[in-house]
């Protein structure tokens, strides 16, 4: 956990304002008033009518206080029926680190979202429980609470709570929809958890813990994984990084999509990967957003990823196709694949020089997250990260949807 007391230094404030005014660099410094970044408003007033009954033992949610790192203006949105509490976050933290959640005891949530790997897994595409190759690249877990228009590359999970159920029953953890109730009951009955579920969710003795309760605790923990305080946020950028930041929101127009505190508009865009250089559809191309949206017009679109910590999460893109950050930046700055018929209209070749590409990379490096998740127990898993050679026989893109 990295929550820190926000500094009130002018530099830091300036960086935060610049960040929230991505598209209006000229107004930098004119806006004041977001300085009080220690927000305690998240659940004030909601605790009493929350749909999920807090027990006598649960501390009122209104007591939850967010301490935001520099660079994040608002706390993540919290669903009314899953208010934050310290006890719930602690329970979720333990569950996130517990390999027994997976069907074969082989991996925890953390196994694919590791500190050393940018809180992703360093693999081209993920390796699920039972060593099942999955179809998509693992995104960083930092700031997931801000992806409130949809989680996953295709946005198929509307909330963190739904995402957690998906990851748990799907290919990631491999439990299977039919076994989820039994798994939740088993986990909840473990002596080290029984008391926490009782105090957080009011689970009575002999009563089974439900998958939703596990998902709610996991989600509360994930909402506390805030990445700010970066060199960018603190105004401690190198000259190259500063030039890169100017390009990012200026000439290179990256910020049309990578916008806001978390460098994502939450929207879906086709950047041209589903088509080849002649504009022909690549066989078996991942349809992305089209599938959950049940709309062919949304085919080949993927959610704009955050760029926080991006220098540590190689390889890149939804299928991990690109090994280096420089290569990824070159592709985006060149406007993607101009032959792709559905190419997003904001993708255009901005003809950057090699020096400008290097400046953009330096800027992205200044977004490296400074914190780390507190690890509990042994989290090593064979195959994560992957050995030098790419995994063979990766499941078809379609598997990714089932993967959760
Ligand atoms: C086998 C590796 C693996 C494991 C284990 C795993 N994840 Fe992930 N995680 C992924 C992959 C791959 C994706 C992206 C899948 C997609 O978009 O289709 C992802 C996506 C996510 C996202 C969405 C991120 C975003 O930017 O939208 C969250 C949140 C998340 N995982 C949390 C969890 C939780 C909670 C668990 C444990 C219940 C878990 N993960 C277990 C690999 C894993
Ligand atoms: C039209 C919206 C849009 C614009 C403009 C845009 N991006 Fe992106 N960016 C995306 C989307 C969507 C993805 C994910 C695409 C995929 O994986 O299929 C992405 C992915 C990336 C990634 C890979 C991140 C990861 O975690 O894998 C990097 C790096 C990146 N963009 C940098 C940039 C830079 C630098 C610019 C400006 C030169 C830029 N982008 C402009 C939408 C955009």
> Is residue 63 domain-resident?
no
Ligand closest to CA 310: 2
Amino acid 10: pLDDT: 37
> Is residue 261 domain-resident?
yes
- Give the mean pLDDT of the chain: 85
Name the residue at shortest CA distance from atom 9 of ligand 2: 304
Whether ligand 1 lies within 6 angstroms of the CB of 119 is answered as no
Which domain covers residue 317, as residue numbers? 239-365
> Is residue 279 domain-resident?
yes
CA of 381 to the centre of ligand 2 (A): 30
Question: Is 144 in contact with 264 (CB distance < 8 Å)?
Answer: no
- Interval 255-314: pLDDT, tens: 999 999 999 999 999 999 999 999 999 999 999 999 999 999 999 999 999 999 999 999
Residue pointed to by tokens 């004119």: 30
> Is residue 11 domain-resident?
no
Amino acid 90: pLDDT: 97
Amino acid 387: pLDDT: 77
Main-chain dihedrals φ then ψ at residue 128, nearest 5 degrees: -80, 180
User: Which of 18-22, 69-73, 396-400 comes out lowest in average pLDDT?
Assistant: 18-22
Confidence of residue 402 (pLDDT cuts 50, 70, 90): very low
> Is residue 292 domain-resident?
yes
CA of 399 to the centre of ligand 1 (A): 14
CATH number at residue 313: 1.10.760.10
Mean pLDDT score, 336-365: 97
Contacts of 137 (CB under 8 A, 6+ apart): 120, 123, 124, 125, 126, 153, 315, 316, 317, 318, 319, 320
> Is residue 252 domain-resident?
yes
Whether ligand 2 lies within 6 angstroms of the CB of 287 is answered as no
Name the residue at shortest CA distance from atom 39 of ligand 2: 254
Judged on CB neighbours under 10 Å (0-12, 13-18, 19+), 403 is buried
- Interval 2-22: pLDDT, tens: 343 333 333 333 343 333 333
Whether ligand 1 lies within 6 angstroms of the CB of 203 is answered as no
CA atoms within 13 A on the CB side of 94: 14
Whether ligand 1 lies within 6 angstroms of the CB of 112 is answered as yes
Confidence of residue 95 (pLDDT cuts 50, 70, 90): very high
CA of 361 to the centre of ligand 1 (A): 26
Amino acid 30: pLDDT: 30
* C-beta neighbour count of 86 within 10 angstroms: 15
- Interval 159-182: pLDDT, tens: 999 999 999 999 999 999 999 999
Confidence of residue 389 (pLDDT cuts 50, 70, 90): low
Name the residue at shortest CA distance from atom 13 of ligand 2: 304
Mean pLDDT score, 314-335: 97
How many domains does the structure of the chain reveal? 1
Full 3-state SS string of 51-88? CCCCCCCCCCHHHCCCCCCCCCCCCCCCCCCCCCCHHH
> Is residue 62 domain-resident?
no
Identity of the highest mean pLDDT range in 10-14, 33-37, 224-228: 224-228
Contacts of 191 (CB under 8 A, 6+ apart): none
Amino acid 376: pLDDT: 95
Amino acid 62: pLDDT: 56
CA of 138 to the centre of ligand 1 (A): 6
Whether ligand 1 lies within 6 angstroms of the CB of 151 is answered as yes
Amino acid 388: pLDDT: 63
Contacts of 170 (CB under 8 A, 6+ apart): 128, 402, 403, 404
Mean pLDDT score, 133-150: 96
> Is residue 262 domain-resident?
yes
- Of all residues in the chain, what percent carry a pLDDT higher than 70? 80
pTM: 0.85
State yes or no: pLDDT of 400 exceeds 80. Answer: no
Ligand closest to CA 119: 1
């Amino acid at each position: 956990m990295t929550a820190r007391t926000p500094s009130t230094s002018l530099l830091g404030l300036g960086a935060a304002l610049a960040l929230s005014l991505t598209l209006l660099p000229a107004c930098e410094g004119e806006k004041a008033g977001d300085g009080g970044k220690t927000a305690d408003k998240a659940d004030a007033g909601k605790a009493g009518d929350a749909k999920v009954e807090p027990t006598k033992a649960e501390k009122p949610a209104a007591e939850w206080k967010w301490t935001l790192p520099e660079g994040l203006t608002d706390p993540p949105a919290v669903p009314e029926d899953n208010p934050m509490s310290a006890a719930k976050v602690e329970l979720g933290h333990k569950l996130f680190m517990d390999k027994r959640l997976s069907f074969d005891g082989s991996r925890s949530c953390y196994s694919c979202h590791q500190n050393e790997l940018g809180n992703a897994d360093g693999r081209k595409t993920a390796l699920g429980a039972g060593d099942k190759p999955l179809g998509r690249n693992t995104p960083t877990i930092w700031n997931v609470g801000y992806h409130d228009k949809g989680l996953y590359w295709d946005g198929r999970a509307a909330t963190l709570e739904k995402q957690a159920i998906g990851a748990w029953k799907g290919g990631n953890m491999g439990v299977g929809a039919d076994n989820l109730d039994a798994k939740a009951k088993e986990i909840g009955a473990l002596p080290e958890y029984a008391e926490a579920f009782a105090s957080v969710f009011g689970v009575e003795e002999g009563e089974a813990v439900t998958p939703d309760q596990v998902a709610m605790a996991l989600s509360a923990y994930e909402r506390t994984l805030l990445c700010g305080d970066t060199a960018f946020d603190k105004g401690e950028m190198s000259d190259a990084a500063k030039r890169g930041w100017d390009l990012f929101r200026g000439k290179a127009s990256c910020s049309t999509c990578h916008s806001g505190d978390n460098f994502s508009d939450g929207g879906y865009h086709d950047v041209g990967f589903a088509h080849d250089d002649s504009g022909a559809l690549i066989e078996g191309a991942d349809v992305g957003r089209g599938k959950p949206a049940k709309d062919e017009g949304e085919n080949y679109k993927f959610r704009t990823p955050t760029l926080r910590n991006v220098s540590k999460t190689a390889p890149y893109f939804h299928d991990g196709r690109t090994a280096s950050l420089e290569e990824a930046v070159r592709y985006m700055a060149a406007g993607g694949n101009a032959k792709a018929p559905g190419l997003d209209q904001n993708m255009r070749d901005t003809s950057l020089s090699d020096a400008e590409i290097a400046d953009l990379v330096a800027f992205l490096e200044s977004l490296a997250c400074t914190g780390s998740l507190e690890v509990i127990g042994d989290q090593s898993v064979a195959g994560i990260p992957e050995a030098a050679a790419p995994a063979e026989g990766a499941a078809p893109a379609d598997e990714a949807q089932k993967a959760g």
